[in-house]
Amino acid sequence: MDNGEEIALFTVSSNTIIISRDGFPIEQVEIDKKVVEKDGELYTTEDGIEKAFNIIFEYAEDTKTINIYTLDYLVTAYLQQYKLDEKNGPETISDKKAILEGLLIYQTDDSNKKYGVMNVSTGKNVLEAKYDLISYFPYSSQFLVESNGKYGMTDASGKIKLKVAYDEIRICDNELGLYLVKENNLYGIPVSFVNNTGEEITPVANNLIVDSYNGKEYETILGSDGKMYDLKEEIEYPEEFENKDIESIGNNLETEEKEVEVKYKNGDIVKFNYQTGEIIKTSKTENKQNLLEYIGDKLTEIGEEKTKVESISTKYEESKELENKLEDLPIEEAIQKNSTETNENRNDVSEKNENEESNNSEKEKKYISIYNEEKGEYQIYNEAELLDAEKEEVESENEKIEANNLKEYYAKGLESKDEKQGIVWIVISIIGVGIVLLILRKNLKKKR
């Protein structure tokens, strides 16, 4: 079925439509019921017609008529409704399709010429008009946004899927929600997944194969466990290929060759054609260790790993302790308190600080600890700052403490607070004991 710009392919007994543009399949659309055949003709539902032709049916009860709205009509009508120039509306058919979800990509009339996304039912922004470019992906109902040469992804509600921080983003797999991203000349898939043993695996950056041939799509990555995973069609591996203890597989993003070079952690190399499974090159590392040396090395590795785990555990406990302190006393308050305590007129401003503390405490802050392998320690981040899409770089609370010379203050600064609380409890306890003794004395007098 040809709608003028796209071709929709219906298949008997299937509830999936394949949408092609310029001879290439670009979308796979699900419809509410399967296509049926009768007397050599195919029949589909209203949902199938709407999605194939990019139109909307509307039944007018008062006139007993069916109105059919085309994509271009809807875009133009809503641009006029919200007093936007037609030249500031979406241009490509993909971007126009957002209107079928009740969303309109538009460009501002001012000199900045920024892009945003509006909910046409409410007239409110789903995405604020602050981006240099916005593109819509109909199949996954997601927006690709660009700002200052960096890209990110959001869903149709405006929720951030990928922060605006990448040099390039490609959708690898809509069903699995996988993206191929490029950052600082490194390619990767920034997700984790669970393998068939229940272990959570993280893809290794810049180690992947993305290809399509013979009508099939291939996505193979190297997992953090040293194994290769085929996310789509399985590539051809050599016979007796060892899929374990792999250090790197490189990538095929800048070459037309159907080759992958697998480097193992022991130094061995196997290069093969992933289309045929033919081995191109092998290289074995000579193992000169005897059994005793091997056992000795393994015991050393185990000891080092145990020490590393204990160290990380200790640092985690220290990080959680600092988190608790930050919740009691955020850095902004600590800066004020620290400067106040060095002031000779401390008593004059104490009341002001207490008021500020009570006001700030109403705004509860939440923190997240993330392990930084490069620094070998946990870094604490303000949750609100970490989720702020406008921030390209987020400074950790540890860095803020260091920059404001508050390290010693947080190590000792809250001790005085604990001491004051202890004194209060002691005083309350003494008063309580006094009251009990007084009551006992009165009861004894009555008995006499």
- Calculate the alpha carbon distances from 424 to 358, 417, 428, 429, 433 in Å: 19, 11, 6, 9, 14
Given this model, what pLDDT does residue 313 score?
Answer: 73
Report for 12-16, 388-392, 415-419: range of highest mean pLDDT: 12-16
Cα 378 to its chain centre, rounded Å, is: 20
Contact by Cβ (8 Å): 57, 74: no
For residues 145 and 25, the model is more confident at 145
400 residue type, one letter: K
Q: Which of 197-206, 221-230, 247-256, 423-432 has the lowest mean pLDDT?
A: 423-432
pLDDT at 221 over 50: yes
Q: Distance from first CA to last CA of the chain, Å, rounded?
A: 107
Within 8 A by CB and 6+ apart from 338, the residues are 404, 406, 409, 413
Give the torsion sign (CA, 367, 369, 370, 372): positive
Report for 83-92, 273-282, 420-429: range of highest mean pLDDT: 273-282
Query: Which residue is listed with tokens 């007018």?
Result: 60
Quote the CA–CA distance of 332 and 227 in Å, as a whole number.
46
Instruction: Give exposure, 114-125, as e/b (b: 16+ Cβ within 10 Å).
Output: bbbbbbbeeeee
- Calculate the alpha carbon distances from 58 to 46, 67, 71, 74, 120 in Å: 11, 5, 14, 13, 17
For residues 219 and 104, the model is more confident at 104
Quote the CA–CA distance of 218 and 221 in Å, as a whole number.
10
Given this model, what pLDDT does residue 22 score?
Answer: 74
For residues 384 and 80, the model is more confident at 80
What's the longest Cα–Cα distance across the chain?
112
Given this model, what pLDDT does residue 436 score?
Answer: 60
* Chain mean pLDDT for the chain: 80
pLDDT at 117 over 80: yes
Report for 10-24, 93-107, 216-230, 318-332: range of highest mean pLDDT: 93-107
Each residue of 257-266: pLDDT tens digit?
999 999 999 9
User: What percentage of the chain carries pLDDT values higher than 70?
Assistant: 74
- At residue 238 the predicted structure's pLDDT band, cuts being 50, 70 and 90, is very high
pLDDT at 247 over 50: yes
Query: Which residue is listed with tokens 């993330």?
Result: 370
Per-residue pLDDT averaged across 113-142, rounded?
93
Contact by Cβ (8 Å): 17, 29: yes
pLDDT at 358 over 60: no
Given this model, what pLDDT does residue 350 score?
Answer: 44
* Verdict on whether the full-model pTM lies above 0.75: no
Quote the CA–CA distance of 50 and 1 in Å, as a whole number.
12
- At residue 373 the predicted structure's pLDDT band, cuts being 50, 70 and 90, is confident
Fill in the DSSP letter of residue 43: E
pLDDT at 58 over 50: yes
pLDDT at 252 over 80: yes
pLDDT at 88 over 80: yes
Instruction: Give exposure, 382-410, as e/b (b: 16+ Cβ within 10 Å).
Output: beeeeeebeeeeeebbbebbeeeebeebb
Q: What are phi and psi of 66, to 5 degrees?
A: -110, 120
Helix (H) or strand (E) holding 115: strand 115-119
Report the 10 Å Cβ neighbour count for 103: 23
Quote the CA–CA distance of 422 and 418 in Å, as a whole number.
6
User: Closest Cα to residue 112, out of 145, 81, 136, 148?
Assistant: 148
Per-residue pLDDT averaged across 331-345, rounded?
70
- At residue 212 the predicted structure's pLDDT band, cuts being 50, 70 and 90, is confident
Q: Which of 184-193, 303-312, 392-401 has the lowest mean pLDDT?
A: 184-193
Each residue of 194-206: pLDDT tens digit?
555 657 678 888 8
Per-residue pLDDT averaged across 372-387, rounded?
78
Say how many CA atoms lie within 13 Å of 134 toward its Cβ.
33
